[in-house]
Chain A
Amino acid sequence: MQYRNEELRNRLAAEYVLGTLSWRARRRFDIALKENPLLRRAVAEWENRLLPLAGSLPEQTPPTRVWRAIQGRLGHAETRRGWWDSLALWRATAAIATAALFALAIALLQSEPEVLPPRMVVVMADLQTSNPAMTVSWTPGEDGERLMQIRVIGHAEMDPDTEWELWMLPDPEQPPVSLGLISTHELQTMRVPPELNRALDAAWGMAMSVEPKGGSPTGVPTGPVLYMGQCVKA
């Protein structure tokens, strides 16, 4: 009834959006909102006026359990959790001595003295031995086709009738994206199609899996993952 007065409507809507109403007043207001389109409009207007303020708060990443709970409640297919989301694997990767990684990254950068802009570097570890096994680097932010430099460390051997496939890991909750097949040659260059540029620059890590001839038939890694590493900006 009191919501018929425009001034009052406006005032209550403002305090509702600002958040100063008591619990009981909020409940009453919620009920009135359902029935009164004018009231809904007043609220929407105040939301548009005040809520952009919230954008000034520094972001805070919620724990992963919140996302899992949401998926569980909505009955959504659990994001395929594969090896790329396995803590154990990341621990294995982390087991490589940081110093060794650092030295390697530096060496890698120094070996390409002509490269001045920031580089993305991935030092991938052999998951069996935890030793550095392969590096991948590129210049982020470039337009057009990206050129990735791949360096295979040591004298790796590939089993016959198999293929090595390189994968980009967008983040722990997303399945890997294939970048293509690689060889065991010490130095290789791979072209990345421009549509992957943004995802590549934001990628979390990379991995190499062993696949049948022609590469993974399913679009996700099917064979064992030999190498894996996290992307760092150098």
Chain B
Amino acid sequence: MEQDEIQDLLARCALGEEKAFSVLYRRCAPKLFAVAVRITRRHDWAEDVLQESFVNIWHHASGYNPARSAPMTWMTAIVRNRALDLLRRPRQADGSEEEYQAALAALPDDTPGPEELLQRSHDAHRLSECLRQLSEDQQRSISMAFFYGMSHAELAARMDKPLGSVKTWIRRGLDRLRACLDGI
């Protein structure tokens, strides 16, 4: 139902209807902003990501294909890709690398962690079921990578485990996840 509405708004954006775009923004920006904040861990970056993403959404609305993905998935991918690009780009020069690493080290333990969020998720029921079937290490590394946009090396440091182990957990975890989700 809600999905149909968002799909309809995107279709109207594709036709250049500015009003539909502003409704789309009001409906979806809070969810997408949360995604950007969680990954970038900086509000100013998250704002840039959201801005870039919506400019993109407007320009590429006609490229959205409902047969391929849910509208929210399509927009989330745009936001996540922007956020990850920003996060991964080389940035030793301006000192923001240290700042980011400090933010990572200080990841709040009081806010609900990824694992908890997984349990709270409504529209990802099947996914949570499948995630629960993974080993604890696989689950933890995948959800931390997903929600916090951590690289392999960052995960290894954060979990205090060898890089090779982290890579293997993620690879095997994703394999099992795919098998479970696709019902193989």
Contacts and interface: CB of A to CB of B under 8 A. Distances in A.
Interface in A26-83: 26, 44, 47-63, 65-67, 69-70, 73-74, 76-77, 79
Given A44-B69, A69-B51, A77-B18, A56 B84 contact: no
Contact of A173 (B22, B77, B149, B155): B22
B153 to A, nearest CB: 9
Contacts of B150: 19-20
Interface string B18-40: 10011001100111011101110
A134 B34 CA distance: 39
A44 B39 CA distance: 20
A57 B38 contact: yes
B47 A15 contact: no
A54 B90 contact: no
B88 A15 contact: no
A227 B110 CA distance: 45
B47 A62 contact: yes
Given A18-B146, A20-B170, A61-B33, A66 B152 contact: no
Interface residues of A, number: 43
A49 B85 CA distance: 21
B127 A52 contact: yes
Given A26-B88, A59-B31, A18 B151 contact: no
Contacts of A21: 88, 151
Contacts of A74: 55, 58
Contacts of B21: 76
B146 A60 contact: no
B33 A23 contact: no
Main secondary structure of the interface of B (DSSP, over half): helix
9 contacts: A17-B80, A22-B88, A51-B73, A52-B123, A55-B123, A56-B121, A57-B31, A62-B47, A76-B21
Interface string B141-162: 0110111011110010000000
Nearest to B125: A52
Interface of B: 18, 21-22, 25-26, 29-31, 33-35, 37-39, 46-47, 50-51, 54-55, 58, 68-70, 72-74, 76-77, 80, 84-85, 88-90, 117-118, 120-124, 127, 142-143, 145-147, 149-152, 155, 170-171, 174, 177-178, 181
A26 B55 contact: no
Contacts, number: 142
Contacts of B72: 51, 55
Interface of A: 10-11, 14-15, 17-23, 26, 44, 47-63, 65-67, 69-70, 73-74, 76-77, 79, 171, 173-174
Contact of B142 (A18, A23, A62, A76): A18
Contacts of B118: 53, 56
Given A26-B88, A70-B51, A76-B21, A19 B120 contact: no
A210 B85 CA distance: 53
B5 to A, nearest CB: 12
Contacts of B31: 54-55, 57, 59
Given A47-B76, A53-B118, A60-B33, 15 more contacts: A23-B88, A52-B127, A53-B143, A55-B31, A55-B121, A55-B123, A56-B120, A56-B124, A57-B31, A57-B34, A59-B31, A59-B33, A73-B51, A73-B55, A174-B22
A49 B145 contact: no
Contacts of B181: 49
A81 to B, nearest CB: 13
Contacts of A173: 22, 26
